[in-house]
């Protein structure tokens, strides 16, 4: 063994530690790179030279060092909240976003800083398309590029996510207190239960002043808005009720021009007419509700009850199909087969006797129901379940990776679900730059799935995973590599001095 191996061994040490320093430099350079995974250089000895000593033992001299591997740290980096709905972070170590480049090659990334482009594709900053499965899919597969087709046609929601279709109103909930001391603004000694109905004239669209009125908006099947009003007035001309019960008559009305019932003329605009019966304490006991399609009160009959025992008012708006709207005032019929007592009554047959009114067969009052207390009339709550056509205004991502569209009508619609990939050995992924990795054979098998399934982590919207670079660790490594380079350089200079000494002794 000569003197020169020390020079080569020192050189390998410098090169190995220089590679380690390169890794540290790369980590520090990317300390603010979204989704970056820090790397660590691992060293190994080179093959040793065996020196025979004339005994059975071996004496080996090492030949230096080399880089055996550079491994990624797959721990999750810090999560930073943003105000962008399409910024997405994966919680936990397992899971990679699936993307494709222009050539269709699949790439994987932990960086979830995605944006929609002018064509509606969801892309990363380098332009790769993010993959997902259509909402409702049960199998992920590799998914498909996520694209929101922003067609301007709100009536074609199957071809566009720019608009969500409207929904017809199917239920109205209305609760108010009706002042027990209020005056009867439409008194009648012959038909106190229908005085408001009798006073209605579509040509003037006027009612007696003083009746309590509350308005809300309902929608037809096309999502068109229609204003309706509920009008209440005491029926004080009725025959005295037992135990001091009080009765209020009411109308459900709309603008006569919006009433699509072909048979009405003067009564156009009245959608329903009914009564509310209260106890002396002001609690709701019973109710009635009539509907009809002509001006003749004899043609106005009790509305059907739905399966839950609530009155179901048939309504026809101009240009729309007839729709049935449940009217929930806090009272329903609890019979197995809901139905009215005196179901053959008409508005013309009520007269002045409350016994002629239809009544629920087995009324049940909710905790929140219409009241008739000695207090000013006031609406307590009113709501309906219809809505207009809505237009996409924002998107966000749920924990299961579902991309949800927020629409101007208050609706949230599921659009896509992000597809994630998992690998047997994520350390085997090949870095492609740009926060991208490709699947090398060393990564093992690939499983595609949805966030939160198997060992795939859940996702967080409006969040980005930051680099998992630990600066303290990197500075320690930097010092160690620096000292390693200095020490190996010293070995080379020392070996050089030994060689020079040997040459000089030979000359002597």
Angle of helix 5-29 relative to helix 471-507, nearest 10 degrees, comes to 160
Cα 489–493–494 angle (5° rounding)?
115
Is the distance from CB of 489 to CB of 497 less than 8 angstroms? no
User: What pLDDT score does 54 carry?
Assistant: 55
Out of 78-92, 150-164, 402-416, which region has the weakest mean confidence (pLDDT)? Answer: 150-164
User: CA-CA distance, 406 to 390, in Å (whole number)?
Assistant: 9
The bridge status of strand 323-328 relative to strand 171-177 is parallel
* 313-372 pLDDT, tens digit each: 999 999 999 999 999 999 999 999 999 999 999 999 999 999 999 999 999 999 999 999
Bigger pLDDT: 209 vs 488: 488
Helix (H) or strand (E) holding 485: helix 471-507
* 23-34 pLDDT, tens digit each: 999 999 999 999
For the chain, domains (ranges, CATH) are 5-75+469-507 (no CATH), 79-158+392-465 (no CATH), 171-384 (2.60.98.20)
**Mean per-residue pLDDT of the chain:** 90
Decide if pLDDT at 131 tops 50. Answer: yes
User: What pLDDT score does 52 carry?
Assistant: 60
* 39-68 pLDDT, tens digit each: 999 999 887 665 565 555 566 777 889 999
User: CA-CA distance, 102 to 122, in Å (whole number)?
Assistant: 13
User: What pLDDT score does 366 carry?
Assistant: 96
* 269-298 pLDDT, tens digit each: 999 999 999 999 999 999 999 999 999 999
pLDDT band at residue 203 using 50, 70 and 90 as cut-offs: confident
Q: Which two tokens stand for residue 476?
A: 């320690």
Out of 45-49, 60-64, 130-134, 413-417, which region has the weakest mean confidence (pLDDT)? Answer: 45-49
User: What pLDDT score does 209 carry?
Assistant: 77
Decide if pLDDT at 387 tops 80. Answer: yes
Q: What percent of the chain has pLDDT over 90?
A: 73
Decide if pLDDT at 250 tops 80. Answer: yes
User: What pLDDT score does 132 carry?
Assistant: 95
Q: Count CB neighbours of 187 within 10 A.
A: 14
User: What pLDDT score does 2 carry?
Assistant: 58
Bigger pLDDT: 205 vs 293: 293
pLDDT band at residue 239 using 50, 70 and 90 as cut-offs: low
pLDDT band at residue 158 using 50, 70 and 90 as cut-offs: very low
User: CA-CA distance, 58 to 51, in Å (whole number)?
Assistant: 7
Out of 214-228, 240-254, 443-457, 463-477, which region has the weakest mean confidence (pLDDT)? Answer: 240-254
pLDDT band at residue 157 using 50, 70 and 90 as cut-offs: very low
User: What pLDDT score does 214 carry?
Assistant: 95
**Which residues are within 8 A (CB) of 474 and not within 5 positions of it... i.e. 6 or more apart?**
24, 27, 28, 38
* 99-113 pLDDT, tens digit each: 999 999 999 999 999
Average pLDDT over residues 252-268: 94
Q: What are 328's strand-pairing partners?
A: 173
Give CA torsion, residues 334, 314, 330, 255, to 10 deg: -170
């Amino acid at each position: 063994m000569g003197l020169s191996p020390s020079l080569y061994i020192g050189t390998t040490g410098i090169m190995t530690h220089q590679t380690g320093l390169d890794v540290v430099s790369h980590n520090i350079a990317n300390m603010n790179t979204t989704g970056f995974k820090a790397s660590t250089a691992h060293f190994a000895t080179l093959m040793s030279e065996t020196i025979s000593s004339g005994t059975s033992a071996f004496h080996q001299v090492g030949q230096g060092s080399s880089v055996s591997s550079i491994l990624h740290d797959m721990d999750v980096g810090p999560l930073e909240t943003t105000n962008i709905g399409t910024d997405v972070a994966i919680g936990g170590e397992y899971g990679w976003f699936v993307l494709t480049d222009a050539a269709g090659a699949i790439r994987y990334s932990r960086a979830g800083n995605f944006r929609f482009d002018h064509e509606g594709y969801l892309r990363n900053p380098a332009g790769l398309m993010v993959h997902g499965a259509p909402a409702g899919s049960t199998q992920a597969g590799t998914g498909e590029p996520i694209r929101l087709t922003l067609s301007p046609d709100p009536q074609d929601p199957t071809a566009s996510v720019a608009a969500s279709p409207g929904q017809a109103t199917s239920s109205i909930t209305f609760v108010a207190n009706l002042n027990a001391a209020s005056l009867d603004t439409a008194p009648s000694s012959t038909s106190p239960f229908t005085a408001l109905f009798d006073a209605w004239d579509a040509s003037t669209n006027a009612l007696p002043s003083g009746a309590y009125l509350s308005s809300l908006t309902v929608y037809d099947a096309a999502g068109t808005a229609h204003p309706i009003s509920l009008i209440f007035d005491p029926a004080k001309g009725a025959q005295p009720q037992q135990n001091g019960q009080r009765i209020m008559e009411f109308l459900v009305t709309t603008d006569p021009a919006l009433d699509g019932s072909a048979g009405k003329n003067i009564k156009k605009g009245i959608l329903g007419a009914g009564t509310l019966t209260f106890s002396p304490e002001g609690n709701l006991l019973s109710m009635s509700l009539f509907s009809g399609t002509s001006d003749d009160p004899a043609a106005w009959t009790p509305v059907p009850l739905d399966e839950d025992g609530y009155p179901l008012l048939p309504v026809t708006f101009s240009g729309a199909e007839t729709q049935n709207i449940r009217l929930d005032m806090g009272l329903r019929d609890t019979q197995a087969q809901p139905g009215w007592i005196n179901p053959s009554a008409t508005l013309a047959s009520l007269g002045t006797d409350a016994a002629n009114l239809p009544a629920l067969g087995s009324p049940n009052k909710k905790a929140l129901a219409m009241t008739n207390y000695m207090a000013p009339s006031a609406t307590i709550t009113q709501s309906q379940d219809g809505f207009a056509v809505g237009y996409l205004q924002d998107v966000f991502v749920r924990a299961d990776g579902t991309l949800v569209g927020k629409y101007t009508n208050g609706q949230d619609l599921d659009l896509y679900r992000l597809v994630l990939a998992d690998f047997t050995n994520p350390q085997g992924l090949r870095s492609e730059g740009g926060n991208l990795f490709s699947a090398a054979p060393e990564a093992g098998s690939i499983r595609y799935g949805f966030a939160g399934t198997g060992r795939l982590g859940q996702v967080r919207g409006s969040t980005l995973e930051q680099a998992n670079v630990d600066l303290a660790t990197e500075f320690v490594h930097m010092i160690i590599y620096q000292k390693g380079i200095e020490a190996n350089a010293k070995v080379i200079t020392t070996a050089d001095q030994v060689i020079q000494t040997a040459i000089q002794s030979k000359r002597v």
